[in-house]
Amino acid sequence: MSARIVCLPGDCIGPEVMAVAQRILRELAPDLELEDHLFGAAAIRATGDPLPDETLEACRSAAAVLKAPIGHPEFDAADVRPEQGMLRLRAELDVYTNLRPAKQGAVDLVIVRELVGGLYFGARGVREDGTVFDTCEYHPSQVERIARRAFELARSRGGRLTSVDKANVLETSRMWRRVVHEVAAEYPDVEVEDLLVDNAAMQLASAPEQFDVLVTENMFGDILSDLAAAMTGGLGLAPSASLGDAGPGLFEPVHGSAPDIAGRGIANPAAMLRSTALLLEHGLGRYAEARALEDAVDVALGTTPTPDLGGGATTAEFTDAVLQALAASD
Ligand code: NAD
Ligand code: IPM
Ligand code: MN
């Protein structure tokens, strides 16, 4: 079945890893229509807006959106920044469930990050006296819907859910904890525990194999997912899927645009390819192709590691290894 995939190539190493994903998709699923659109720093340069209307409309009507990382040092201090387009895209598509799996050896966990609320989207500004503020805001309905997604996921996996908050300090966290336990009543088969976020960071760093599914608010999830990635092979490996209740999902690596290695042909495309596998699975329901891609990436990671993994392979050599593994599994 043909489907239209909107591709957002992003900034710095973004276009390098997007080119890999597209090359693999053309082999693996040649019927897919891949359509590039302007986004991030490139869109600011061309239109003044990181998320032009035309790009947003294309995303809304797509079967799924595949996004490479955005962000560019040129705009770090600017009023209009690539990251603003990214937050707006997540909010416009209402992809509130961000799945960030981390798997290696005995560790096999998923962080379910709430993606369209909290500190990223609360009131912000500058008071007359010069005080600058960002506020963390959640409506109970936002917590309820993400909690339900997390319980469903836990039920389909190991049956254990850890809800991460800062209920010893924050009002939003106290409400979060109350709502999670209300929803828990509907899932008696899932074992649920609460964990304070500082302790969660310590536990993730010292004994990550204890976790199955973790659910947490936007900012905590941002930080803990980089930590979980570091514990399971590094940022070059960590994918994500952002899903709403209806409409297209958004699939992107956890890592950023890595300006420090851009243009050198050494970016690890594994996170981008694993995000592509999540798109095939969650976005299109094409499970066999998703599995084939995941397996081929695992093979290439073993035979042809890039420098971030201590190897010497270039992005192109890694890509060839993935294509070879795919051909071998045909
Ligand atoms: P980063 O994730 O880009 O890089 C952190 C470190 O990891 C760097 O040393 C980088 O070289 C390395 N790294 C990341 N991805 C890699 C890969 N695929 N292969 C090999 N090494 C890799 O984080 P940062 O440097 O803090 O942020 C850079 C820019 O990215 C910022 O503008 C930030 O806002 C943006 N960002 C974007 C996204 C996104 O679009 N999803 C996510 C995070 C950060
Ligand atoms: C991520 C990134 C983004 C976030 C930035 C680039 C806005 O760090 O996807 O983890 O904080 O959500
Ligand atoms: Mn992040």
223 lines ligand 1 (CB under 6 A): no
Could you tell me which of 329, 277, 279, 254 has the C-alpha nearest to residue 299?
329
DSSP-derived 3-state class of residue 3:
coil
The pLDDT of residue 2: 77
pLDDT of res. 330: 78
Beta carbons of 306 and 322 less than 8 angstroms apart: no
Q: Could you tell me the two tokens for 175?
A: 């409400």
Q: Which of 226, 295, 298, 320 is catalytic?
A: 226
Tally of CA atoms within 13 A in the half-sphere of 202 that contains its CB: 5
Is 0.95 topped by the overall pTM?
A: yes
The ligand 2 atom at the shortest distance from the C-alpha of residue 70 is: 6
Q: Is 165 near ligand 2, meaning CB less than 6 Å away?
A: no
Q: Is 292 in the pocket of ligand 2 (CB under 6 A)?
A: no
For residue 219, give the ligand 2 atom closest to its CA: 11
Whether 254 is in the pocket of ligand 2, judged by its Cβ within 6 Å, is yes
Instruction: Answer yes or no: 108 catalytic.
Output: no
DSSP string, 86-101: HHHHHHHHT--EEEEE
Token digits of residue 258: 């890595």
Q: Which residues of 306-317 are buried (b: 16+ CB within 10 A; e: fewer)?
A: bebbebebbbeb
Ligand 2 mean position, distance from CA 75 (Å): 15
Question: In the block, which residue shows the tokens 């981390």?
Answer: 102
Helical axes 14-28 vs 287-303, angle rounded to 10°: 120
Q: Determine whether 222 is an active site residue.
A: yes
Full 3-state SS string of 228-294: HHHHCCCHHHCEEEEECCCCCEEEEECCCCCHHHCCCCCCCCHHHHHHHHHHHHHHCCCHHHHHHHH
**Which residues hold their Cβ within 5 A of ligand 3, which is an ion?**
222
The pLDDT averaged over each successive group of 10 residues in the chain (330 residues) is 91 98 98 98 96 98 98 95 97 98 97 98 97 98 98 98 98 98 98 98 98 98 98 97 97 97 98 98 97 98 98 98 95
Q: Please pick, among 96, 165, 166, 187, the residue that the annotation labels catalytic.
A: 166
